[in-house]
Structure formats: C-alpha cells, structure tokens
Amino acid sequence: MQIEIVTIGNEVLSGRTLDTNAAFLARALEEVSVQVMWHTTVGDHVGSISEALRLALDRADGVVVTGGLGPTPDDMTRKAVATVFKRPLQLDESVLASLRERGRRLGRKLPPSIETQALIPRGAEIWVNPVGSAPGLLIEQKKKPVILLPGVPQEMEALTRQFVVPYLRQRSGRFVESFTLRTAGVYESMLHDVIGELPSKWPGGSLAYLPSYFGVDLRVTVAGGSEDDVHTVTGMAYEQLRQRVAGVTYGEGTAGIEEVVGEQLLARGWRIAVAESCTGGLLMKRLTDVPGSSRYVERGFVVYSNAAKTAQVGVDPALIEAHGAVSAPVAEALARGARAAAGVEVGVGITGIAGPDGGSDTKPVGTVFIAVSTPETEVVRDHRFFGSRNVVRERGAQTAFDLVRRVIAGLPPDPKLG
C-alpha cells in the first residue's frame, strides 16, 4: 500500500516550523508495511489544499492529511475536503458535546468558533482525540482511505498510535515486526563490514543503518502475510544480528545511553558524580534529562577554569602544570576527585578542546580525554572527534556514557566488533 502525506500549514511551508509530523507518520506507517511515496506541503489556502488532495487521491492508494483542523479562520482543511470530495459539512452533536465537556473539565470559556471543530464531512468516521479537541476523521473516497489529523504533534501522534496504525494494519492484511539495536563507537562502514549480506537471509526482512552523532542505530523490519512466519524471522534476525554487533551495542529500542547507564546504576545501587570541563554541563544535563534520575545522580562539577578543577575536586595544580589541563592524568584526577568529593561509587572526568579555538599541533581541536573511576577500576581513554564545537561536545558526552556503561558492566573499555 502506497500513500501520500499532505501537510497543511503556512508555518511549515514558510520554514518557521520543521515538519516533524511527516517524519513521525512515515516511520509509524513503515511499521505496518505502508510506504510513503509522496509528501506534499501546502499553505492554509483552500485552492492549494483542494489541488493537493485531488492529486494525492489520484496517484496514491490512500492519503493522510495533517493540519488545518483547528477552530480559527485559517484552518481550511474541512472546507477543502467538503468541496473536493462533495461531502457537505454537518454539525455532529456528539463531537460538539464532547468539545463542551472538555472545555468544562479544563475550566475554559468556549469561544463561539468551537462549533467549527464539530463540523464533520458527511459520512466521515470520527476518531476521538485523546489529548486535544479536534477529532481525527476517516473518509472512504474512491475506495481509498483519506485520513485527516490535527497538526499539533502531540495530538497527531496520539491519534496515529491509537487509530491510524491499527486501521492500516488491518486494511493492509500485512504483519510487521521490527526491532532496533543501538550502537556507539563505530562507523557505519565498520558495521557494514561485519554484517555484510546477512539481511538477505531474512525472508521479508530489511536492515536500515541510521547514523547520528550518538552512534549508528540498526533497525530491522520484517513484513509478511503470516504472523507466525514474521515472528520466526524476526527472532532469527535478532539473534544473528545481535551476535555480530554485541561488542558495540549499548541498548535496544529508543532508550538513550544515559537511561541505560541509569538502569545499570540502579541495579548496582551505585550513584554517580561528574567533573566535566569541555562538555560544560552537557553530561549532567543528559543524566538529569531522565525522570527519576535523582535516585542515582548525586552532584556535578562543571570545572571550566583550572582553579575550579583544583577547588572543586582537588586536582593538583602541579599535575595541570606538568601535563596541561587537557590530558589523561587530569581526566583521571577529575574522575577520582568527583568520586571522592561527592562520596559516590562512580566518578567521571572529561576534559578536551571543543573549539573552534584553543587547539595546537599536539592537541588539535577535538582532542578529548575521558576517565571513569569506580571501586573496582579506573580507566582513561583519549579521543579525537571531528566536527563543530557542538559535535565535539555531543560526541564526547556520548563516548563518555559508553565508557561508563562498559566499566560498570565489567566489559572491555574499547568498542570491538566481531
């Protein structure tokens, strides 16, 4: 089944808002073996919307529209649908009642325009919005589904998960399973070298390499007409792929490496403290992004100046003098000092040159030293990251988390494939 996504909204067309909705939809539909073949964006203008709808229905097996369903005069999707598909808008009393009920519950005064959102194209199936007011709508036109969703990402995502995906799964008659292995510390080409043509042995299966600053995600999707077969192939693919990349895999699904580290800490009953220089707070920011992280995050030291390194975690000024602030001995002293000063089990130290200035021949921009200290061991590693200041900092943080993960798990400190 090949579908077209139509995004409606001046704010998207003008580049002021990034179209994350289309990307979310495409990934969600892939899960049910529905392929996005076209994606069109038009502004809040009945003429353009109508033309886009006509064209999409013509060339695709189905259409998913986001945006333009709000109550304000610039929300034009309803009007365009009514015109193009000859389905006059009718006031739906049940939708109106639920909009009023929602308003009462939230203690909001309802504007007269609220009725607009209860105007439904004739014959549309109504999907109640679990997190907002505008419902999702399903219309069957020329035996093809036309799905209308609000543009607010949170609402669009909730409706997609609750209605769109199950509906299209049933309609396509296809079964799909997927999983993701998350790797860090290796390039896409290195993974490709050990994985090779393995995916060709998975009937109905495919593998996508998804690289980012944080590493390469390996996403496997298996599709087929038999639920049992799909399940068997997925299990086989998981075992085979996992075996080849176990040495560099930090997690599965969508969990970030800071969550993986958090779970390890909880399991060991350990707490963590960080002394960071070049990342300037980024490591602590990511650790505390995780709800409940106060159970294992004790404190952090952003030791930006040399004086701070000495005052906050007791780095010997002679050590900085002898090796420089960006050096393996100072990284070790930061890790050890963070651990001691906070009285916790895991200490992390990171020091480097994020750029754009400050590099030298022996320590160019991108040089980063990372150390981890625990009751069991101490490890320090040096790295050279390429890219902007932001990229060096992000890669440094990710690599630091991977080293923490390896040390806590008792794994070899360096990523190794095969």
The binding site for a copy of itself (CB under 8 A) comprises 13-20, 22-27, 30, 36-43, 48, 52, 55, 208, 210, 274, 279-289, 291-294, 297-305, 307-308, 311-312, 341-342, 355-357, 389-390, 393
Cβ at position 7, least distance to a copy of itself in Å: 8
Nearer to a copy of itself, 120 or 191 (CB): 191
Nearer to a copy of itself, 60 or 148 (CB): 60
Can you spell out the DSSP letters for 251-295? EETT--HHHHHHHHHHHHT--EEEEESTTTTHHHHHHHHSTTGGG
Cβ at position 219, least distance to a copy of itself in Å: 9
Measured CA to CA, the distance from residue 296 to residue 272 in angstroms comes to 6
Nearer to a copy of itself, 27 or 86 (CB): 27
Nearer to a copy of itself, 98 or 178 (CB): 178
Can you spell out the DSSP letters for 315-351? --HHHHHHH-SSSHHHHHHHHHHHHHHHT-SEEEEEE
Nearer to a copy of itself, 40 or 264 (CB): 40
Cβ at position 228, least distance to a copy of itself in Å: 27
Q: CB–CB of 122/141 below 8 Å?
A: no
Cβ at position 94, least distance to a copy of itself in Å: 29
Can you spell out the DSSP letters for 166-231? HHHHHHHT-EEEEEEEEE-SS-HHHHHHHHTTGGGGSTTEEEEEEEETTEEEEEEEEEES-HHHHH
Nearer to a copy of itself, 43 or 413 (CB): 43
Cβ at position 327, least distance to a copy of itself in Å: 17
Measured CA to CA, the distance from residue 358 to residue 346 in angstroms comes to 30
What number of other Cβ atoms are within 10 A of residue 2's Cβ? 12
Q: What one-letter code names the amino acid at 410?
A: G
Residue 382: which of 364, 399, 370 has the closest Cα?
370
Nearer to a copy of itself, 23 or 97 (CB): 23
Q: CB–CB of 350/369 below 8 Å?
A: yes
